Structure 1
Amino acid sequence: MGAVGFESTVAIAQDAPGNEEQPSGWTTRRGNPARTGAVEEDGPTPYPTTDWTMDPDGSLYDLEPIVADGTVYLPVTTDNSPSGNDGYVGAYDAETGTELWTQSELSAPRSPTVSSDMVYVATKVPGASESSETGLYALDRENGDIVWDRTNSPEWAPPVLVDGLLYTANRTGAVAVDPSTGETEWRTEDVGGIANGFDGQVSAVNGTVFLADGTALDAEDGSVQWQASSDRPLLGSHAADEERVYYLRSEYIRGDDDRVVLEARSIETGRIDWTYRSDDDEWDGRKAVTDNYVLIVEATEGTWAVKALDKGTGTVEWTSELPGEFIDDPSVGNGIVYVGGRYFPTDSDYGRAFVSALDATTGDHLWDYLLDSSDLETSPENPPSAETPIVADGNLYVDTYPAGSTFDYEYQYYSNFFALGPCDKRPDEEDTPNDDGKPDDCEEYERPEACIDVTSNRNVSEFDAGETVWLNGFCSTGSDLTYEWDSTEDGQSDENGTSFPVTIPECGTVTVSLTVTDSKGNSDTTDMAVSAT
């Protein structure tokens, strides 16, 4: 068990990014610091359509795009040959795909973590050599400039940002870093995954930092809370919730065979609560964690499916078969499961990437959508497959790669990126895994937007105390809207309808909120403060 150490830090007269309000969206790998792959974000509702595409001139294979406050951040590898390690981080407008900036003065990046004003990036380490540009970087969100770097150690785990500290690991151990300066706050040696040959994933929840080697640390000072037994087979990627941390454990059997087990451990003690093992071991522990289930992707005799395991017991609650292959990590946004993969139409020898949506409670299919790569460059021998769809701001963001290719260069040449927005109608048959046609244009779905106006020629500030002013929601946008008004700030509707009366108070302020909801159940809320002049 390693020692805990502290290093001096430089005090600066500004707030640490971790103490500021964090951006909304999918802000780190697997969406949040707990690495659950589940976020309180909507995907395309009720159906998807392709808003824009791009060729990133490189690969996002086995990485995730990050989306925060209307900006997409892409970690792109442009050279992954044994002696190469080039790449860039690019920032793009989430609505249009317009490039905002790129930063290429670093090695090939892993999936970043985004705060209110910084982008934190750990880089990959090439197999044949180590570059001076490998390390941990902080970039300015506005322009991509390097604010600080930690290249003293070449290999770092992709960090998580929680309560004003950046948690990561390198070859010497686990580290907590000041996100503003890059200075070490504490270090715990000989733990963290990378130090012991793991991939080094870090997650954090409820004041505890979990590491890929099965170690749990106190987030405040780095002291070891518990460690999984080191004489058992290897642990791997993990996700945590308020009760358990879910680890993948691999045990070498023979040849190229591994036995793969999912372990659910108590976050308090590390005790194993339950385990799950696939009958065929044809999975690598890809998972998402929701309020009720651990969702995994499993292949059995060539059939791919999403399975929902009860979080408390590990029993299978539902199984939903998927129409394709190479199904990637599941992601979840507000009760809907999204997965990507590849589908071969019956009347074609060339496959297409697709995305599926499932109900997270029942596993029922909601829709399948084929991605149109006809205007993009794809591999002639290895058709594209979709990786994990990222959920943010009512959209999905997903990259494709030449599935099954054994050539490194193909992953750079033939990878593409798609942004899927909302559509008001179900995808046509040619857009789904029933046909191989080219998707048609789709009528864009308009999400509701609440707006409050005054039913008078006078501004609300011109009314005197005791007068009654009528407010209305006619300026709201959306289709088939219902209107709910609340003037008591208790979250309960006081009245329904397009208009609402409020009496100007003698003193103080009345805050009136309006929630509009459309026929598809999507809603938006705004408010107006009313006070005497």
Structure 2
Amino acid sequence: MSHATRRQFLAAFGASALSATAGCVSGSGATYEGTWSRPGFDDARTGFAPASGPTGPLTVAWRADVFDGYPTTSPVVADGVVYYHHTRGGRGHPHESVVSAFDAAAGTERWRTIVSVADDDELAYHHDSLVVADRLYLRTLEALYALSLDGDRLWRHPIPTTAQPYPIVAPPVVADGVAVTATYGERTPPIGVAAVDAETGTPRWRVGFNSRQIPWTLAASEGIVYVPFFEGNAGVVALDLQSGGREWSVSLPVEGPVTVAGDTLLIPLDGDPEAIAAVDRRTGAVRWRASGVRHTEAGVAVAGDRVYYCADRMLLARRFDTGDLVWSFGPTPRVSLGWTPVVAGNVVYALAEHRAENGRPNYLYALDAASGRVRGSGRVSRSATVSGLAVVDGAGYVGLGSGELLCLEACDVSVLGRCVRNG
């Protein structure tokens, strides 16, 4: 259930009080229009949407209670509805994995569907995997599921994860009538990448890998699926989306999710030092490499001629063509190394910890994408999903490890110094 919204508080306060104390008017309110379809925004994981995200004082327009089971997942948004995948349970307890739908403007829960129930002694029972593409797709540890946008369970395709959900962020690729996922978790080869019909769930193809160990988050563009692998014979394998045929492979010390931008792959690399590399997606040649300590789950965003990622406790903006540093934000406050930047229009969002404050809270920062200038911020929590925001016009949505889903908007009207309307 959702907590009381600021709109409800405003109505209770009264219009006469508002007219006497209104100030802090920052422009037109949120429309909640637009789609944020998956972690990373699209199959290419660019992290960029042509939306007008909130700036100025970022405040909580509404909050909703969700299960606080690990891992915290990324909300997705379409047609005025926020969808969220969460699991109740823990070690020694049954896991109930559900998807909830919330009104994007008010935060009221429209429906909740139990996807699966399992008696499993694992800490987690799902991946950060929700995708909206005419219907909903998600991964639990044992299968890929599809739901209707009304919450009806449509089909289930078994594909196991061993041990913990590794990687945590593992949305399926859903494009051109096909849904593609992999057998995640540390396991003995063979590893499998499988495709099913996106409408019916019937198998389309499956590719096995005997010499590779740990597949990571998939990406796709222009009919090609990119599968990064860790450890052993590490690198990236390119598969044809419709047939599963192997297009090419390259050996690299991959350590993170791949982003596809035109004819370039942006790949986090292991090594001394760790780095982000721009790789020609047709030849595998490294165009540039920039060092920086980062978190394995964190990805790269691309918008126009800029690349954005978190490393060395900073948010870094580099030139897409050369890798030259354009600007940085941090390390005071300390930017989260697990955060994947999100770009909405001309604003990039980053999560940063204020170590000087009690409890070391996190603040969400809205930064000018061209210059790095701070255009707004708002306090959230110590723990937020590593996959960043879902952003539609005027609003951003983020899941917290404390069992909350937040809608963040720019303060539009304040009463007695308190923000009571966000659009």
TM-score, structure 2 normalization: 0.77
CA distance in 1, matches of 2:66, 2:273: 36
1:420 maps to which residue? 408
Answer with 60-69 or 50-59: which moved more: 60-69
Q: What is the distance in 1 between the residues matched to 2:331 and 2:103?
A: 32
Question: Which residue does 1:267 correspond to in 2?
Answer: 281
Please tell me whether residue 440 in structure 1 is matched to residue 411 in structure 2.
Answer: no
CA 1:261–1:349 in 2, change beyond 3 Å: closer, same or farther? same
* Secondary structure of 2:63's aligned partner: strand
Matched, 1:227 2:237: no
Residue in 2 that maps onto 1:169: 182
Is 2:199 the partner of 1:185?
Answer: no
- 1:389 — aligned with what? 389
Return the offset for 1:261.
Answer: 2.1
User: 1:365: which partner in 2?
Assistant: 374
Aligned CA distance change for structure 1 residues 365 and 60 (closer, same or farther; 3 Å) = farther
CA shift digits 1:423-476 (9 cap, x unpaired): 337x99xxxxxxxxx98224544xxxxxxxxxxxxxxxxxxxxxxxxxxxxxxx
CA contact (8 A) 1:50 1:419 kept: yes
- Is the CA contact 2:195–2:203 (under 8 Å) kept in the aligned structure 1? yes
Deviation string for 1:214-241 (max 9, x for gaps)?
Answer: 0112223222121112xx5344311111
What is the Cα deviation at residue 165 of structure 1? 1.7
1:171-192 C-alpha deviation (Å, 9 max, x unpaired) = 642222211111122222218x
Q: CA deviation at 1:46?
A: 5.4
1:357 offset after TM fit, Å?
0.4
SS in 2 for 1:210: strand
Partner of 1:502: none
Note closer, same or farther for the CA distance 1:154–1:319 as it changes in structure 2 (3 Å cut): closer
Q: Which runs of 5+ in 1 are unaligned?
A: 1-22, 125-133, 252-257, 374-382, 402-413, 429-437, 446-533
- SS in structure 2 of the partner of residue 25 of structure 1: coil
Deviation at 1:78, TM superposition (A): 2.2
Task: Describe how 1:48-447 pairs up with structure 2 within 5 A.
Answer: 48-59=58-69, 61=71, 63-81=73-91, 85-106=95-116, 108-110=125-127, 111-116=129-134, 118-124=135-141, 134-142=142-150, 144-151=151-158, 153-154=160-161, 157-170=170-183, 172-190=191-209, 196-213=212-229, 214-229=236-251, 232-251=252-271, 259-278=273-292, 281-284=293-296, 285-299=298-312, 304-321=313-330, 323-325=332-334, 327=336, 328-344=339-355, 346=356, 348-371=357-380, 383-384=382-383, 388-401=388-401, 414-424=402-412, 440-445=418-423
Residue 26 (structure 1) aligns with: 36
Deviation at 1:170, TM superposition (A): 2.6
Q: Percent identity?
A: 26
Structure 1 residues 236 and 342: CA distance shift in structure 2, 3 A: closer
CA distance in 2: counterparts of 1:135 and 1:415, whole angstroms: 24
- Counterparts of 1:349 and 1:47 in 2: how far apart (Å)? 21
Residue 278 of structure 2 aligns to which amino acid in structure 1?
A: A
User: Cα distance 1:441–1:235, how it changes in 2: closer, same or farther (>3 A)?
Assistant: closer
CA contact (8 A) 1:351 1:384 kept: no
Greater RCO structure (CA 8 Å; 6+ sep): 2
What TM-score do the two structures reach when normalised by structure 1? 0.62
CA contact (8 A) 2:254 2:267 kept: no
Q: Could you say what secondary structure the match of 2:258 adopts? A: strand
Shift of 1:244: 0.7
The CA distance in 1 between the partners of 2:179 and 2:345, in whole Å, is 27
- What is the number of residues matched between the two proteins? 361
Q: Which amino acid in the other structure matches residue 30 of structure 1?
A: G
Task: Give how far 1:268 is off.
Answer: 1.8
**Equivalents in 2 of 1:32, 1:41: separation in Å?**
14
RMSD over aligned CA atoms reads 2.9
In structure 2, how many angstroms separate the alpha carbons of the residues matched to 1:60 and 1:92?
20
CA shift, 1:94, in A, is 1.0
Q: Does the Cα contact within 8 Å between 2:310 and 2:335 map onto a contact in 1? A: no
Contact 2:144 2:159 (8 Å CA) reproduced: no
Cα–Cα, structure 1 residues 46 and 365, in superposed 2: closer, same or farther, change >3 Å? closer
Q: Which amino acid aligns with 1:174?
A: V
**Deviation of 1:87 (Å):** 2.9
The CA deviation string for residues 347-405 of structure 1, in whole angstroms up to 9 with x for no partner, is: x533333210001111111112123x7xxxxxxxxx5557522212320112233xxxx
SS at 1:105 equivalent: strand
SS class of match (1:100): strand
Q: What is the rounded CA distance, in whole Å, between the counterparts of 1:384 and 1:186 in structure 2?
A: 38
Q: Does structure 2 conserve the Cα–Cα contact (< 8 Å) formed by 1:206 and 1:242?
A: no
Contact in 2 for aligned 1:340/1:356 (Cα 8 Å): yes
CA distance in 1: counterparts of 2:73 and 2:116, whole angstroms: 17
Contact 1:40–1:334 (8 Å) recurs in 2: yes
Q: CA deviation at 1:308?
A: 0.8
